[in-house]
């Protein structure tokens, strides 16, 4: 291995991409930064296109020939305790737990490239850095923002003395790990537009393109890791730079119609910056090109702001947590039920699509407080513009007020899951009953139960494999994958693959996949199930130029 690494491979380790396609924006920021300093950077996703991780990693490594590897760890688990399709369960809960997937990636990389150093970073990693490095058997990590610490690590490598002085660095110190203090974050002034990794085009076309407006959260909700991840001080990106980024995305990424502002909460600390940004969006007509979403608190929120959000075409995800003031107070929430009601009413008045997030079972929860929350949900029932998403119990993560509360208690009452080093294993506080029992109770009392369909199944694997290959312009491989896929997966991926092929002038392949798909439907004897695809295929074929 060279002492000055130059070829960096960044691997996104999030298996939940199969369920919700959120692309690794953080890795793009890091790649952008490193490239400015002359590094060659490749970003890849080891769980695609084959179902076998080792096959994919072999391929990725052969192509990238890296001399340093960075692993992006976004999610430790889903923080949701009642996932019908989850892969990890215990008494009273079922969830998705991703650490074993990341471990498999690390083990295979180590086997294939035993001498190449690895560093880990990302949102989930920064929650429990030392315990994660120990579990995975990796020597380096970076907490918080990774751009500059990673560049400094690469420059310093392998000088351990220099490495040990880098802010935000986590490194082995005998049997233990040292976590260096981070530097306060600042948005770089002259970054220029951030190129997005086109391998994940499908993700940002369908799930929204992430754009960052600020970092940090100055609130203190007991269960939440975000003030710890991003800092308690809010750091704003220059408003002009955000607008430039939106214009760049509009020019450069044709299919993108949805922007997700990835702030902790869009409307903190007050409505000033957000309002100015939205006014500018409307003034420049960017709202005619994009729809916008972000996460919001019930307060601050007023009718002028709601109107602005409506003018710009926002959908909002509202962190309400509970409609009981007893629970909100115990949770240290900065708003109360009255403010949640006000915001729900403003959303209705200004036609804002609103997803209300709730957590039943936080400290202070009783059947009485649950009934109060349900009563309010009934008063503001789901409708085409409003839906509820909820989980049961607060996931106890290291470093949160909820974690400190649980650590100081003598009893294990209302605790579910396995208490492990760094609180890595799924571990919940849930009162007055276990998560699965509370879920039943809510289902019995609230007739509009939202049932998670978070399946990580073979259809999503096949569909995403086709999209991943198409996004890399590997047209023949994408078409072969499509032909190998079963009809459900073809149905799910046809539209995307066709548009990509036709848009890239691959008319012959677009025609071939269309014909074969049509034949497969006709021969399947399942015309009822797939029949509505036929007019779509016919229409698509009719708009292809007659010559290939």
C-alpha 459/C-alpha 448 separation (Å) is 27
Helices (H), 208-238: 226-230
Q: Which of 41, 80, 102, 352 binds ligand B12 (CB under 6 A)?
A: 80
Q: Which of 159, 47, 177 is nearest to 120 (CA)?
A: 177
Measured in residues, the chain has a length of 548
DSSP secondary structure, 164-175, as one string: TTSTTEEEEETT
Choose from ligand SF4, ligand B12, none: what does 265 bind? Cβ within 5-8 Å by kind.
ligand SF4
Taking each helix axis as running N to C, give the angle between helix 303-312 and helix 337-349, from 0 to 180 degrees, rounded to the nearest 10: 40
Q: Is 217 in the site for ligand SF4 (CB under 6 A)?
A: yes
Rounded alpha-carbon distances, angstroms, from residue 135 to 96, 98, 132, 171, 421: 18, 13, 5, 14, 9
Q: Which residues in the 232-291 window bind ligand B12 by CB under 6 A? A: 260, 262, 264
Which run of H or of E encompasses 120? strand 118-121
Do strands 394-395 and 427-429 pair parallel, antiparallel, or not at all (unpaired)? antiparallel
Please say whether the beta carbons of 426 and 88 come within 8 A: yes
Residue 81 CB, nearest distance to ligand SF4 (Å)? 17
Number of residues that bind ligand B12 (CB under 6 A): 43
Q: Which is nearer to ligand B12, 17 or 335 (CB)?
A: 17
Q: Is 464 in the site for ligand SF4 (CB under 6 A)?
A: no
User: How is the beta sheet containing 314-321 ordered, strand by strand?
Assistant: 209-211, 258-261, 291-296, 314-321, 353-360, 386-392
Please say whether the beta carbons of 358 and 393 come within 8 A: no
Residue 146 CB partners (closer than 8 Å, separation 6+): 26, 29, 30, 70, 121, 122, 168
Residue 484: count other Cβ atoms within 10 Å of its Cβ.
12
18-26, 46-54, 169-177, 375-383 -> range binding ligand B12 (CB under 6 A): 18-26
Residue 145 CB, nearest distance to ligand B12 (Å)? 3
Q: Which of 2, 20, 232, 338 binds ligand B12 (CB under 6 A)?
A: 20
Q: Which of 226, 245, 339, 471 binds ligand SF4 (CB under 6 A)?
A: 226
84-92, 224-232, 305-313, 450-458 -> range binding ligand SF4 (CB under 6 A): 224-232
- DSSP-assigned letter for residue 447: T
Q: Is 14 in the site for ligand B12 (CB under 6 A)?
A: yes
> Residue 407 is encoded by which pair of tokens?
């650590």
Q: Which of 219, 237, 330, 337 binds ligand SF4 (CB under 6 A)?
A: 219
Three-state DSSP class for 533? helix
Q: Which of 56, 95, 201, 264 binds ligand SF4 (CB under 6 A)?
A: 264
Q: Which is nearer to ligand B12, 235 or 520 (CB)?
A: 235
Binding mask 296-315 for ligand SF4 (x = CB under 6 A): -x------------------
End-to-end CA distance of the chain: 48
Residue 423 falls in which region: left (phi positive, over 0), alpha (psi -120 to 50) or beta: left
Choose from ligand B12, ligand SF4, none: what does 219 bind? Cβ within 5-8 Å by kind.
ligand SF4
Choose from ligand SF4, ligand B12, none: what does 20 bind? Cβ within 5-8 Å by kind.
ligand B12
Q: Is the preceding omega at residue 80 within 30 degrees of 0, hence cis?
A: no
53-61, 200-208, 213-221, 366-374 -> range binding ligand SF4 (CB under 6 A): 213-221
Binding mask 130-169 for ligand B12 (x = CB under 6 A): ------------x--xxx--x-------------------
Which run of H or of E encompasses 235? strand 235-236
Q: Is 222 in the site for ligand SF4 (CB under 6 A)?
A: no
Please say whether the beta carbons of 21 and 71 come within 8 A: no
Q: Is 224 in the site for ligand SF4 (CB under 6 A)?
A: yes
20-28, 102-110, 278-286, 425-433 -> range binding ligand B12 (CB under 6 A): 20-28
Cα-only R_g, the chain? 24
Q: Is 221 in the site for ligand SF4 (CB under 6 A)?
A: yes
195-203, 214-222, 463-471, 486-494 -> range binding ligand SF4 (CB under 6 A): 214-222
Q: Is 77 in the site for ligand B12 (CB under 6 A)?
A: yes
Choose from ligand B12, ligand SF4, none: what does 22 bind? Cβ within 5-8 Å by kind.
ligand B12
Choose from ligand SF4, ligand B12, none: what does 70 bind? Cβ within 5-8 Å by kind.
ligand B12
Q: Which of 207, 269, 399, 432 binds ligand B12 (CB under 6 A)?
A: 207
Q: Which is nearer to ligand SF4, 224 or 403 (CB)?
A: 224
Q: Which residues in the 437-476 window bind ligand B12 by CB under 6 A? A: none
> Residue 354 is encoded by which pair of tokens?
């609103």
Residue 130 CB, nearest distance to ligand SF4 (Å)? 23
Q: Which of 21, 95, 319, 462 binds ligand SF4 (CB under 6 A)?
A: 319
Q: Which of 188, 297, 299 is nearest to 235 (CA)?
A: 188
24-32, 222-230, 382-390, 533-541 -> range binding ligand SF4 (CB under 6 A): 222-230
Here the contacts of 227-233 (C-beta below 8 Å, separation 24 or greater) are 227/264, 228/126, 228/127, 228/399, 228/400, 229/123, 229/126, 229/127, 229/144, 230/144, 230/185, 230/264, 231/144, 231/182, 231/184, 231/185, 233/184
Structure-token match 């929650």, residue found? 127
Q: Which residues in the 26-45 window bind ligand B12 by CB under 6 A? A: 26-27, 29-30
Residue 209 CB, nearest distance to ligand B12 (Å)? 7
Residue 372 CB partners (closer than 8 Å, separation 6+): 323, 324
Q: Which residues bind ligand SF4 (CB under 6 A)?
A: 217, 219, 221, 224, 226-227, 264-265, 297, 319
The residues of the shown chain that bind ligand B12, judged by CB under 6 A, are: 14, 16-17, 20, 22, 25-27, 29-30, 70-72, 74-80, 119-124, 142, 145-147, 150, 207-208, 210, 212, 224-226, 229-230, 260, 262, 264
């Amino acid at each position: 291995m060279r002492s000055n690494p130059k070829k960096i491979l960044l691997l996104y380790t999030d298996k939940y991409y199969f369920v919700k396609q959120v692309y690794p924006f953080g890795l793009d920021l890091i790649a952008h930064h490193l490239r400015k300093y002359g590094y060659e950077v490749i970003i890849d996703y080891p769980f695609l296109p084959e179902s076998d991780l080792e096959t994919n990693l072999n391929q990725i490594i052969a192509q990238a020939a890296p001399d340093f590897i960075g692993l992006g760890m976004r999610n430790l688990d889903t923080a949701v305790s009642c996932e019908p399709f989850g892969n990890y369960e215990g008494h009273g809960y079922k969830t998705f737990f991703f650490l074993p997937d990341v471990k498999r990636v690390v083990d295979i990389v180590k086997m294939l490239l035993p001498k190449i150093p690895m560093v880990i970073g990302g949102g989930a990693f920064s929650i429990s850095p030392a315990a994660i490095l120990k579990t995975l058997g990796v020597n380096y990590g970076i907490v918080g923002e990774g751009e500059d610490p990673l560049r400094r690590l690469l420059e310093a490598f392998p000088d351990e003395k220099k490495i040990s002085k880098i802010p935000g660095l986590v490194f082995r110190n005998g049997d233990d790990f040292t976590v260096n203090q981070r530097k306060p974050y600042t948005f770089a002034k002259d970054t220029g537009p951030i190129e997005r990794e086109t391998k994940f085009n499908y993700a940002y076309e369908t799930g929204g393109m992430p754009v960052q407006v600020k970092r940090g959260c100055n609130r203190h909700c007991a269960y939440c890791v975000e003030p710890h991840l991003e800092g308690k001080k809010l750091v704003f990106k220059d408003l002009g730079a955000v607008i430039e980024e939106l214009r760049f995305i509009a020019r450069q990424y044709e299919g993108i119609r949805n922007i997700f502002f990835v702030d902790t909460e869009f409307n903190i600390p007050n409505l000033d910056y957000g309002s100015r940004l939205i006014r500018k969006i409307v003034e420049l007509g960017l709202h005619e090109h994009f729809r916008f979403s972000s996460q919001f608190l019930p307060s601050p929120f007023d009718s002028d702001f709601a109107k602005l959000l409506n003018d710009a075409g926002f959908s909002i995800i509202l962190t309400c947590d509970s409609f009981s003031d007893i629970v909100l107070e115990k949770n240290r929430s900065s708003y109360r039920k009255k403010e949640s009601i006000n915001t729900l009413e403003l959303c209705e008045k200004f036609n804002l699509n609103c997803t209300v997030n709730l957590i039943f079972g936080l400290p202070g929860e009783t059947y009485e407080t649950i009934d109060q929350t349900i009563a309010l949900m009934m008063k503001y029932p789901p409708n085409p513009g409003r839906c509820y998403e909820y989980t049961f119990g607060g996931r106890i993560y290291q470093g949160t007020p909820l974690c400190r509360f649980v650590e100081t208690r003598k009893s294990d009452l209302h605790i579910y899951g396995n208490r492990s080093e760094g609180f890595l294993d799924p571990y919940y506080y849930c009162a007055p009953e276990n998560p699965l029992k509370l879920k039943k109770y809510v289902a019995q009392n609230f007739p509009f139960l939202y049932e998670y369909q978070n399946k990580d199944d073979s259809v999503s694997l096949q569909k995403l494999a086709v999209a991943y290959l198409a996004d890399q312009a590997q047209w023949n491989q994408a078409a072969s994958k499509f032909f190998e896929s079963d009809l459900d997966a073809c149905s799910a991926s046809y539209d995307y693959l066709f548009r990509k092929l036709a848009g890239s002038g691959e008319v012959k392949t677009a025609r071939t996949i269309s014909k074969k798909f049509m034949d497969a439907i006709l021969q399947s004897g399942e015309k009822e199930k797939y029949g509505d695809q036929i007019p779509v295929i016919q229409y698509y074929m009719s708009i292809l130029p007659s010559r290939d």
